[in-house]
Chain A
Amino acid sequence: MSSTRPESTDPAATVPADRTDERLVQDKGVVGILQAFARRVRGGDLGSLPVIVGLVVISLVFYFQEPTFLSSRTLVNITLFAAPIGIIAIGVVLVLLLGEIDLSVGSVSGLASSVMAVLVVYKDFPLWMAIVAGAATGLGVGVFYALLFTKIGVPSFVITLAGLLGFLGLQLLVLGKNGTVNLPPDSGLIEFARVSFVTGTASYVLVVLVALAYGVALVWGARRRAAAGLSAASWVGIAIRTGLLAAGLLYLTYYLNIDRGLGYLPLLFVVLVVVTDLMLRKTSWGRHVFAVGGNEEAARRSGIHVSRVYLSVFALTGTFSAVGGLLAAGQLTSVSQASGGTDTNLTAIAAAVIGGTSLFGGRGTAYAALLGIIVLQSIQTGLNVVGVDSSVRYMVTGAVLLLAVSIDSVSRRARSSSGRG
């Protein structure tokens, strides 16, 4: 058996402080890790499993319909088109973690890109200043929502539904009579979003550095835990995890490099996801976000400034929406009345949910945005490659969203019966 129980005679001498309880099942070795994983899944703690299974199914289905779906070129396109809405989806994940919703991310992204485009094209502002103004627009909207929510107590559903309409109107007003603003073709934003790629040696150096940083962080964490007398990850486990990450990233880089490589835009998206994830898991701010999402009253009584948490999250959601909108504008080289329309809105929210963020608050990770948007973009690109009408695309996307929420609800029930919250 791979499960052992520590001797109860002299626990302090040999057993780490967190492994002394004789009821605790201990998992040793690779088989043990797999058993622990199986227990978690049965207990309803599905994590990213459904999304990854879904992604494999989608890939296989489209691959057998049209082998070019898994070509390097298609995959590079998926990463490029996924990134702007993915960045918006990070903000949606944050607001969902609080158990709230932002229905207006699309309108806010459209408004921010309109502000930016009008400043650059009509007012001759420098690009960086226009970008800052665009991002600040999103920030301002987020702060406005937070004040309405915390001071007046309007439900976020209603606030953001009003924002969806109101800011769409403001976007039309900002754009003026022409309706469409074309960015200058030599704009740095267009260059960043369309034609800048990490490729060749630089990409491999980047991958090696990321894997090294990951490995060093794991080793450092394990040593600190061991020094404090707590159980620590084994060296073999760390080596396997780092090795798997390095191998996976290297192969992905090699495959993307056959075509254009990893774009700056998707790279920025991934960096934002990783940073958000670290903020959520490793800082007290992140801890407070989960606490407010899990039990707002308990969080308040613990002395957490609940309204500050709401303010920071709504502000971040607004900013992420704006940044996503700016990058989408760069990618499409223009801003129009349709920028940030229904498609953007629903795709960003659906991505966060499909990626595994619970609608009930307090449960999810920043990686949900990454996984969710890749699933949705794969479906969209796949249906395009196969040559299916957009009517089918909407229906498929709707079905996937429904499936994801159903999985969330079912696993929630499994969790409450197995005591995993």
Chain B
Amino acid sequence: MTATTKERPEPSVADPVLSLSGIEKRFGAVQALSEVHLDVAPGEVVALVGDNGAGKSTLVKVISGVYQPDAGSITFSGRKVQVGGPSEAQALGISTVFQDLALCDNLDVVANLFLGQERGSRGWLDEVSMEKEAWRLLRTLSAKIPSVRIPIAALSGGQRQTVAIARSLVGAPKIVMLDEPTAALGVAQTAEVLNLVERLRENGLGVILVSHNMADVQAVADRIVVLRLGRNAAEFNIADVTTADLVAAITGASDNVVAERARRGQPDSIAGAVDE
């Protein structure tokens, strides 16, 4: 397999809710994204993988409206859209859980869940309704949060991740983007987040999952889009992909240790294997 192989299944999805094509983004002399395309259908989990600096986070920020693309078009629900800012993305129905979670440490859980989309009438907050909804959202995630009236600073890393994911569900979005959602989590919490991704799919949401963790990606994704150096390097359906294919597409080289092992016919027994 060569580094430039484009295994793009055509058509990638029948009726995408979100479709990006020809996205370009430059930072000074650095071409962070060039001619990137991405389709997400309702009820589909698309994993976005790539090495450090491959442009995953930049693409996420373009979709969520933090960055404006220099070229290319974004189609949402069959309509060409300009995502002018995070609030426009939210209004469209694209919600994002950022890698740094973007929570306010000084505010409590309820305030963070509804930040920027508070409930109430004429500017006055309806704390009771928000607190009730907060508990409902947290229950659907089986979240282990003792009280929603404690500041975020008092929560553990996993609890913060849960709050951030619960927040992405406020306002009934169509697309949820998760940027490295399991990076800081323990085993049980990772499983919980992956269950949640399943539940999002069951509810007909399109999910974009950015991750470094191949096990997580292969556990929940329907399709895997690989970025390398700001370009679409490969695209796989989950049914016909091996870890070796993924690693080769991500690194752009076929002579890596995973591929080597795959050629020797023992792709899965990595732990405890002894070099011959």
| A304–B116 CA distance with the chains assembled, in angstroms | 5
Q: Is B106 an interface residue (CB 8 A)?
A: yes
* Chain A residues within 8 Å of B178, by CB: none
**A24-B146, A420-B151, A420-B154 known; 12 other A-B pairs, CB under 8 Å?**
A229-B132, A284-B120, A287-B115, A291-B111, A294-B106, A298-B103, A301-B64, A301-B86, A303-B117, A304-B87, A416-B153, A419-B153
Q: Say whether B107 contacts A224, CB under 8 Å.
A: no
| A305–B64 CA distance with the chains assembled, in angstroms | 16
Q: Is A406 an interface residue (CB 8 A)?
A: no
Q: Say whether A419 contacts B115, CB under 8 Å.
A: no
Contact of B102 among A284, A297, A418 (CB under 8 A): A297
* Chain B residues within 8 Å of A305, by CB: 87
Q: Say whether A299 contacts B123, CB under 8 Å.
A: no
Contact of A284 among B90, B96, B123 (CB under 8 A): B123
Q: Is B269 an interface residue (CB 8 A)?
A: no
Q: Is A28 an interface residue (CB 8 A)?
A: no
Q: Say whether A284 contacts B125, CB under 8 Å.
A: yes
Q: Say whether A18 contacts B131, CB under 8 Å.
A: yes
Q: Is B66 an interface residue (CB 8 A)?
A: yes
* Chain B residues within 8 Å of A17, by CB: 132, 135
Which interface residue of B85, B146, B149 has the most chain A CB atoms within 10 A? B146
Complex interface bits, A23-34 against B, C-beta within 8 A gives 1, otherwise 0: 110000000000
With contacts A293-B106, A301-B98 taken as known, whether A18 is within 8 angstroms of B153 at the C-beta atoms is: no
Q: Say whether A290 contacts B107, CB under 8 Å.
A: yes
Q: Is A300 an interface residue (CB 8 A)?
A: yes
* Chain B residues within 8 Å of A419, by CB: 151, 153-155
Q: Which residue of A lies closest to B105 (CB)?
A: A421
| A224–B155 CA distance with the chains assembled, in angstroms | 28
Complex interface bits, A207-229 against B, C-beta within 8 A gives 1, otherwise 0: 00000000000000100110011
Instruction: Give chain A's interface residue range (CB within 8 Å of chain B).
Output: 35 or more
Complex interface bits, A274-293 against B, C-beta within 8 A gives 1, otherwise 0: 00000000111101101101
* Chain B residues within 8 Å of A285, by CB: 123
Q: Is B118 an interface residue (CB 8 A)?
A: yes
Which interface residue of A285, A293, A298, A416 has the most chain B CB atoms within 10 A? A298
Q: Say whether A282 contacts B115, CB under 8 Å.
A: no
Q: Is B147 an interface residue (CB 8 A)?
A: yes
Complex interface bits, B85-110 against A, C-beta within 8 A gives 1, otherwise 0: 11100100000101001111111000
Q: Say whether B154 contacts A302, CB under 8 Å.
A: no
Complex interface bits, A383-421 against B, C-beta within 8 A gives 1, otherwise 0: 000000000000000000000000000000001101111
With contacts A18-B131, A228-B128, A284-B123 taken as known, whether A294 is within 8 angstroms of B105 at the C-beta atoms is: yes
Q: Which residue of B lies closest to A224 (CB)?
A: B128
Which chain B residues (159-173) contact chain A, with CB distance < 8 Å? none
* Chain B residues within 8 Å of A225, by CB: 128
Q: Is B196 an interface residue (CB 8 A)?
A: no
Name the distance in Å between B189's Cβ and chain A's nearest Cβ. Answer: 16
Q: Is B124 an interface residue (CB 8 A)?
A: yes
| A282–B122 CA distance with the chains assembled, in angstroms | 11
Name the distance in Å between A416's Cβ and chain B's nearest Cβ. Answer: 7
Q: Is B2 an interface residue (CB 8 A)?
A: no
Q: Say whether B106 contacts A363, CB under 8 Å.
A: yes
Q: Which 4 A-B pairs have the closest CB atoms?
A: A303-B87, A421-B153, A302-B116, A294-B106
* Chain B residues within 8 Å of A297, by CB: 102
Q: Say whether A299 contacts B115, CB under 8 Å.
A: yes
| A285–B116 CA distance with the chains assembled, in angstroms | 10
Q: Say whether A287 contacts B102, CB under 8 Å.
A: no
Q: Is B194 an interface residue (CB 8 A)?
A: no
Q: Say whether B105 contacts A295, CB under 8 Å.
A: yes
**B-side binding surface: helix, strand, loop or mixed?**
loop
Q: Say whether B154 contacts A287, CB under 8 Å.
A: no
* Chain B residues within 8 Å of A23, by CB: 146
Contact of B153 among A21, A288, A303, A415 (CB under 8 A): A415
Q: Say whether B153 contacts A295, CB under 8 Å.
A: no
Q: Which residue of A lies closest to B149 (CB)?
A: A18
10 contacts between A and B (CB under 8 A): A17-B135, A18-B148, A228-B132, A229-B132, A287-B118, A293-B106, A294-B104, A301-B66, A303-B85, A421-B151
Name the distance in Å between B102's Cβ and chain A's nearest Cβ. Answer: 4
Q: Say whether B153 contacts A420, CB under 8 Å.
A: yes
| A300–B103 CA distance with the chains assembled, in angstroms | 11
Contact of A228 among B102, B107, B116, B129 (CB under 8 A): B129
With contacts A18-B131, A304-B115 taken as known, whether A295 is within 8 angstroms of B102 at the C-beta atoms is: yes
Which chain A residues (1-29) contact chain B, with CB distance < 8 Å? 17-18, 21, 23-24
Q: Is A250 an interface residue (CB 8 A)?
A: no
Contact of B115 among A18, A298, A418 (CB under 8 A): A298
Q: Which residue of B lies closest to A286 (CB)?
A: B125
| A302–B102 CA distance with the chains assembled, in angstroms | 8
Q: Is B145 an interface residue (CB 8 A)?
A: yes
Q: Is B258 an interface residue (CB 8 A)?
A: no
Q: Is B207 an interface residue (CB 8 A)?
A: no
| A155–B160 CA distance with the chains assembled, in angstroms | 31
Q: Is B38 an interface residue (CB 8 A)?
A: no
* Chain B residues within 8 Å of A24, by CB: 146-147
Q: Is A362 an interface residue (CB 8 A)?
A: yes
Contact of A291 among B85, B115, B129, B151 (CB under 8 A): B115
With contacts A290-B107, A421-B105 taken as known, whether A299 is within 8 angstroms of B128 at the C-beta atoms is: no
Q: Is A249 an interface residue (CB 8 A)?
A: no
With contacts A230-B128, A421-B153 taken as known, whether A299 is within 8 angstroms of B104 at the C-beta atoms is: yes
* Chain B residues within 8 Å of A288, by CB: 116
Q: Which residue of A lies closest to B156 (CB)?
A: A419
Q: Say whether B148 contacts A282, CB under 8 Å.
A: no
Q: Is B152 an interface residue (CB 8 A)?
A: yes
* Chain A residues within 8 Å of B107, by CB: 287, 290-291, 294
Q: Say whether A283 contacts B123, CB under 8 Å.
A: yes
| A285–B124 CA distance with the chains assembled, in angstroms | 9
Q: Say whether A302 contacts B86, CB under 8 Å.
A: yes
Contact of B154 among A18, A221, A421 (CB under 8 A): A421
* Chain A residues within 8 Å of B66, by CB: 301
* Chain B residues within 8 Å of A221, by CB: 128
* Chain A residues within 8 Å of B149, by CB: 18
Q: Say whether A283 contacts B124, CB under 8 Å.
A: yes
